[in-house]
Amino acid sequence: MKRTLAAGEGKHEYGSPFEDNLGVVQAFLERAAPGRTTVKENIRWASIRKYKSGGHAKAEERNVLGLALHASERGYEVLAFIRDQDGDANRTKQINAGIATARQMFPKLTIVGGTAVRTSDAWCLALQGKSSTENVKDPKTALKNNGVIDLEDRRTLIADADLNRIPKDAKSLNTWLSQARKL
């Protein structure tokens, strides 16, 4: 099993670093690459030490580079993360630029990461077979209206979902899962 650093924005993405309370990053990894990774550390997005060396990278790009550096320094084989887009297309561009640069700088590190359009809650809606989830203005409320309220509900949904029913228009989710399946 590949030693993995997981990161995400909030408690639903990264889970708890102190309990056996895995977040959706780990749940998605387990579904896409069963038994191939073991998450050894979780980092909350706000706690990332931004990469500061060289260039004039944007904040989100420096966050991704900071995560990759942290993972590399600690001997992780995989960096897995989800960052909510929150309707900010520039965030997606910065994250993608950070991933591309990190893959060049840390070629031994496998990166499974990206921006959840609009949020990871929209990804959960897509797991329920719903289309156009990347356009839902308030995916958290829509998910709650479908009975998915807390982290445990999200983990159960991910564990039980038929990944073949994910709509093609859930592009950010399908891209992330495609990366994870290559582990």
Helix axes 120-127, 171-181, angle to 10 degrees: 80
pLDDT of residue 147: 95
Judge: domain 2-181, CATH 3.40.50: yes
Q: Which carries the bigger pLDDT value, residue 122 or residue 42?
A: 122
The b-or-e profile of 44-74 (16+ CB within 10 A means b, else e) is ebeebeebeeeeebeebbbbbbbbbbbbbee
Q: What is the mean pLDDT of residues 57-69?
A: 92
Q: What is the mean pLDDT of residues 82-93?
A: 95
Spatial contact of 88 and 26, defined as CB atoms under 8 Å apart: no
Angle at 162 between CA 161 and CA 167, to 5 degrees: 105
> In the structure, what pLDDT confidence band is assigned to residue 10 with cuts at 50, 70 and 90?
confident
Return phi, psi of residue 80, to 5°: -125, 130
Q: What is the mean pLDDT of residues 34-49?
A: 90
Using the structure block, give the residue that is written with the tokens 């950070």: 98
Task: Kindly report, residue by residue over 112-165, the tens digit of the pLDDT.
Answer: 999 999 999 999 999 999 999 999 999 999 999 999 999 999 999 999 999 999
Task: Kindly report, residue by residue over 12-37, the tens digit of the pLDDT.
Answer: 776 665 555 678 999 999 999 999 99
- What is the model's pTM? 0.93
